[in-house]
Structures are given as structure tokens and as C-alpha cells.
Amino acid sequence: MKILFYDTKQYDSVSFNEALSHYNGIEIKYLEADLNPATAPLAAGYDGVCAFVNSDVGKETVEKLGEVGVKLILLRCAGFNNVDLEAAAEHKIRVLRVPGYSPEAVAEHAMALALGVNRRLHKAYVKVRENDFSLSGLMGFNFHQKTAGIVGTGKIGAAMARICHGFGMKVIAYDVYENPDLKDLVTYVSLDQLLAESDLISLHCPLIDSTYHMINKEAIAKMKDGVILVNTSRGALVKTEDLIEGIRARKFFGVGLDVYEEEATNVFENRSNEILEHSVTARLLSFPNVMITSHQGFFTAEALAAIARTTLDNAILFEKGERSPNEVKR
């Protein structure tokens, strides 16, 4: 079977070529261009396309893929909020994803952001490079014996809960379903109670209608003063304008973001010579207590290898016409 692989970075082709040596009959053509309505017709003659987290797999793209006979969208990521599943169903295109590849990769990055912003590592690194060995502005607080609030306790949230527990934190959580694996280390509470009691809030739920802008002005008002907020899930869980207002009102000790609204045009691109069209990133970065990374939570060697293997397993399942729990449907 032939797969057209969009938005290829060097590390993608390395991990997929490595995995391909264990699979027969799959041919991949790597494209640098990302998937969108303009590039979808390039998939003519291919059985499937492979897309990533910020590819535009909306209605128009899916229709164009359907027109050129594509029957499979392989998402090499967990999230699928960028895919129009209705349109995919209409065009009889199956959509398969990689639901979990290394939850620890993302959870460890969430803790890295929490620690980094707490101890102002982004500031300290620059200061020492400039021979400024003073400690002013660098004081943090111990996580030990503080309260971590985990919003969403699926695979990544559970891994984060275990990490926080390992730091000697009291771990409380909010989810629409309770994870039985966590019963010995997590106390489930309402979202309001979590917001009110947590010293560190880490978001690990998917972006769906009910979670869109769940961290807004009202939610921020319910938080403890001096809280640290970390988002490694999806940017639109947080209403950025309200977050900026909250930061200005000195609500947060720190904010660590691996994802943010309007990240789509930035993610994985070197735009250092450009004048950026949006002001959100610049405004967020103007605050000394905000640390931003560019959607790198997943980016470990273990996770990339697992993503490649599961994506190719998904392709084989599709070829055999088998059902899979990795399939996403409307």
C-alpha cells in the first residue's frame, strides 16, 4: 500500500524508515508540505495519507482527499480535533490514530514546565550566561507537601499524577470518569474544588466542546493566588485573553505552556526571521513567569518509535479490513 506522508521533519523519516524495515508492502513518500485543501490533491494514487497534529484535515481537505480516492487518514498523534470526522464518514475514509504512545513523555514534560517556571530556569539560564550570578527574581516554592490538581486522568494525566505523588505532593483530580488505577494516590474532587485547592494545576483532557475554554475568567477567579498552571494538552482549553488578564492581575506564580491558541502556524517551524502575525505569543512571552515550549511534549525517542510502529500497525489493519480501537469515528 502507498502512503503519502505530510509535514515530514527529518526525525519523522528517521523513525518511520527504521520501523518500516519490520513491515512488508508499505511504501511511504515523504512530503515537506503539510496537509491542507491545496495539498490534498497530491494524494492522487495513494491509498492513504499520514497527517499530524496541526494538519488541516477539515471538511474541504477531506472532500479533496475523497475526490482523489484516498481511503485512509493515518494520524501520527493522539488528538483528532483537527479532523472533520463527519466528512470522513461521508467519503468512506477511515481515520486511525495513535491513542497512546508514551504518556510519560508528555507527563514528564508537564513536570519539566512546572519545575522550570517555578524555579525560573528560563531566567536563570540566561542570567548565568550573562555572568549575572545573583538570585534576584529566581525564588520558587517547594512542590513537596503542596497540592497538585490534575484535570483529566487518562493515560497522560495518570502518569502526571504518579510523578506529582513521587514529589510528595497531595494529588487531587477532576475527570468525568474516575481512573480506578489511581485510587491509592488520587482523590477525585469537583473541578471547582480542584481550582480552589491546587498549588499546581495541570491540564490533561482532550479538546472537545465541553472542555473548550474551560480555563477562562471564571475558572481563573476560583484558583488560589500564586498557583502554577501547566497546559500540555491543547491550546484552546485555555482562553488566552483571560489568561493574560489573570497573569496581569498577579494571579499566577507561573504558567507553563506546551500548547496555546494560535500555535498552528508556529508549531515545528523556524520563524526566527519573520514578523509574526499574532501578538498572543509575544504578549505571553513578555511575562517573566511564563515559559512556553512549542508542542514538544511528545518528543522523545521512545515516543517517536512507538508512534511509527502504531501508525504502521494501523495501516496493516486497514489493509486487512479489520476493525481497530485506534479508529476515530464521529
Catalytic residue (one of 109, 234, 261, 309): 234
234 among known catalytic residues: yes
Q: Are 174 and 149 in contact (CB under 8 A)?
A: yes
Q: Is 76 in the site for ligand NAI (CB under 6 A)?
A: no
Stretch that binds ligand NAI, among 26-34, 113-121, 201-209, 322-330 (CB under 6 A): 201-209
- Rule CB under 6 A: is residue 232 a binding residue for ligand NAI? yes
Burial class (CB in 10 A: 0-12, 13-18, 19+), 205: buried
Cβ proximity to ligand NAI, 70 vs 207, nearer residue: 207
**Spatial distance between the Cα atoms of 232 and 36, rounded to a whole number of angstroms:** 24
Q: Which helix (H) or strand (E) holds 323?
A: none
Residues 171-190 that bind ligand NAI (CB under 6 A): 174-177
Distance in Å, CB of 168 to ligand NAI, minimum: 23
- Residue 202 Cβ, how far from ligand NAI at the closest point, in Å? 11
SS3 of 301, please? helix
Q: Name the residue among 145, 181, 151 with its Cα closest to residue 164.
A: 145
User: Could you say which of 10, 131, 134, 210 contacts ligand NAI (CB under 6 A)?
Assistant: 210
Q: Are 87 and 64 in contact (CB under 8 A)?
A: no
Contacts of 231 (CB under 8 A, 6+ apart): 202, 203, 215, 237, 238, 256, 257, 258, 259, 260
Enumerate residues 148-167 that contact ligand NAI by CB under 6 A. Answer: 151-157
Residue 213 annotated in active site: no
For helices 103-118 and 155-166, angle between their N-to-C axes, nearest 10 degrees: 50
For the question of residue 295 being annotated catalytic, the response is: yes
Q: Is there binding between residue 261 and ligand NAI (CB under 6 A)? A: no
- List the catalytic residues: 234, 263, 295
List residues near ligand NAI by CB under 6 A.
78-79, 100, 103, 106, 151-157, 174-177, 204-207, 210-211, 232-234, 258-259, 295, 297-298
